[in-house]
Structure 1
Amino acid sequence: MISNIDAFNNTAMGFRALFLNDATGNDLANNNTAFGSWPLQDNTDGSDNTAVGAFALLNNGSTGNRFASGNTAVGVNALNSNTDGALNTAVGDDALVSNTDGVQNVAIGAEALFDNQGGSGNIAVGVAAGRNITTGGNNVTVGTGAGNNIVAGNNNTYIGGGVNGLADENNTIRIGLPPNAPGPPATQCFLGGVVVGMGNNLLIDATTGQLFRTASSARYKEEIRPMDKASESLFALKPVAFRYKKEFDANGTPLFGLVAEEVAKVNPDLVILDRDGKPDSVRYEGVNAMLLNEFLKEHKKVEEQQSKIDSQQASIAELKNEVQTVVAQLKEQAAQIQKVSAQLEMGKPAPQVVVNEP
């Protein structure tokens, strides 16, 4: 604190600690704490900073813009390049070492947020977590090497060692390694108390591990055509009753469904494969659509049959009316015949009897 003029409440212990503090004499560089060699050496007007470790916050406030305040750096070179960044926390060697004017970042772990320069609102916990972020903001990376692919992406959350995505992706949540990741078996993820809004079906891509909703808009589809006979493979499926093994369901809940291996023999398009290419689960949403197609086909047949029945019943009713008309006519004719016969009987002369005498 050799250059300190009027600043107060500062503590410095170590070679060149707070060396240029308050060198401008502006009485702004207050409430700073520096322990170690060269910590906060170039701070002139920054306030409320804490630096513990060699070269921690070395360049803090070196531009003299008075913005480099409220920073905490613990570890060799932690926040070393910070010039105008404020309200940053770096714990670990080289944590936030490249930060210049980024604000409100938290880096815990050696080399966490190592390349961050102007990105703000990032949180990185773990060795080299978020190491390559430069200008991206509001990212959360938890785990060794988590989020290392992010450079300029924003609002991402990566949880798990080595969990990464695309360099510039935004608004993405990744938890655990995907099924196709090299190395140890893929992460098993259990989410409790998850509430899904009405009509929002969630699916997991077994290849990438991506959780997504099933969008049905034509905007997302191509090669749209009638299902036609593709759904007829349903008739070869064999529904079963079963229980999951104890290691997967300790309660042994009775369930109903299909066996993926059996479905694969009938229609491979209805099966999701695991990372080793083995049948793992069934696309029940596809089964449901195929069931609907078969139902509609049968419904059409029923409608056609009903139309024929209605037509036949109309014909029968017409025939009955015609028969009734004919019967009425026959009855009338019979009555007339009977009347004429009676008249004829009355008009006949009486029979004459001739007696022959012997």
Structure 2
Amino acid sequence: MNPTSAPDLNGFFVARSDKNEGEFKVLHNTMLPKNSRTFIDTTFIPGEPNYYLVQAVDTANNVSSSFPVSVTLIDSIPPVKPIFISGKIDSLGVVTIIVEKNKEKDLMGYRLFRSNSEEHEFSTIYEGFMNNDSLDQKVLTEFKDTVSLNSLTPIIYYKIKALDFNYNQSEFSNVLKVVRPDTIPPVIPLFNDVIVGEKKIELRFVPSSSEDVNEHIIYRKTDLQSKWENLNTTGPKETKYVDTTVTTGTTYYYSIRAKDISGLFSKYSSTVYGKPYDTGLRPSIEKFSIDVEKKNIILKWEYPPLKAEHVFMIYKRDDKGKLQQYDTTKEKSYTDKNVNKENYYAIKVITEDGGQSKMSNVLGKNIE
């Protein structure tokens, strides 16, 4: 201010506005004395633009105004943590992100960050700041991003910070997860071992390495020219499956596919096969008993049903004490009329497909 006052100076008024033009509001009720050179404003609004001008008034009530002056107030309070409203991605890979506008009056805008993993560092991809002196006083709350759809990482991660005109930054928002439209089928799982047993086939495999796999489907058939039949479903991390619905002597062919959360299937894996083998061992004789009736030896036993044709082989000790084949029967009892003083027997099953049971216990009776 010019230290030399005009002869007709009467006093001063100090006015304030949140814009550098337009209406300014006088901050005091009475005119300041003409020798005043300072004024303390205690009514300013923190966080808002503050423009001041001084009006000089002469004795004839003529008014002369200074140019507006912007006063920067020390502001160390950051905006509150921003909140995402939504995030969507279209079929072309354009991501639209909407943020709930912060309530701070000195909000300057937002800084948007992106990463391909929640655990990795987030990089700045967009800054939308309002110019304090601009006529367009709108804070951008809708952001656009473009990403590739041909990626094995199904999710894109976003964070955002709010900034005020003093460049105070808010803390990071919560992470926004945007799922890419899935156009890539899962990686094919692979069989790495087939373990064949008598009544089962164990399949071991390397699961699909795709992150969005939801399940694995195991297929089976008994004829290479036939269509695959869905055998069972396993979880995304399972590494083996045991097929117990098999028949000895039949060859079974297997394949496996992965299915992701979008319903996309991998290709069929290479075919593997297994054939349950027959050990030849059949169930043992049960509840074998021996009695004497009228100097005849009566043998009785029990045996579970068998699909294959079978006979019961009767063994009897000879005079040297060795068991020898003596007779056969299809019944579950046998009467020996050709008895000796000492009579010892054992029984086992012989099937037409070459199988047999273990020898039963040896039972005996002496005849006087």
- Give the TM interval when normalised to the shorter protein: under 0.3
Structure ranking higher in helix proportion: 1
TM superposition score normalised by structure 1: 0.23
Which is bigger in relative contact order (C-alpha 8 A, separation at least 6)?
2
Structure ranking higher in strand proportion: 2
TM superposition score normalised by structure 2: 0.23
Larger radius of gyration: 2
